[in-house]
Amino acid sequence: MKKIILKSAIIIAVVALLSSCTVTLPVAVSEAPIGNKRGVSESVVVLGLHLNNDFGIKDAAKNGKITGAIATVDKSTTDFILVQKVELIVTAAE
């Protein structure tokens, strides 16, 4: 009986640690035309602290080789137990 309870507790703990929830929300929209160029800037957040210094709209545009006007900015957040993965996604027409 104790083995079954221990195995069940381990399975529940593993499932809880591996589960996540992702939400993507718009942050900003400009009058620039929306195109197929896309840039992403990622950061890992542990207990509220960003672990990546190169995180922001400017870095996302640089990663996507966007030099002109940015059309949209979206923020995607994936939550784990104590850690978050945050992405800023920018799009442009050029």
Question: Tokens in use for 37?
Answer: 């160029």
Using one digit for the tens of pLDDT, what is the confidence trace for 15-57? 776 777 889 999 999 999 888 999 999 999 998 888 888 899 9
Q: What are phi and psi of 23, to 5 degrees?
A: -130, 130
- For residue 72, the model assigns a pLDDT of 95
Q: Where are the domains of the chain?
A: 20-92
Q: Using CA atoms, how far apart are residues 75 and 86, in angstroms rounded to an integer?
A: 7
- pTM attached to this predicted model: 0.77
User: What's the average model confidence in pLDDT over 65-85?
Assistant: 91
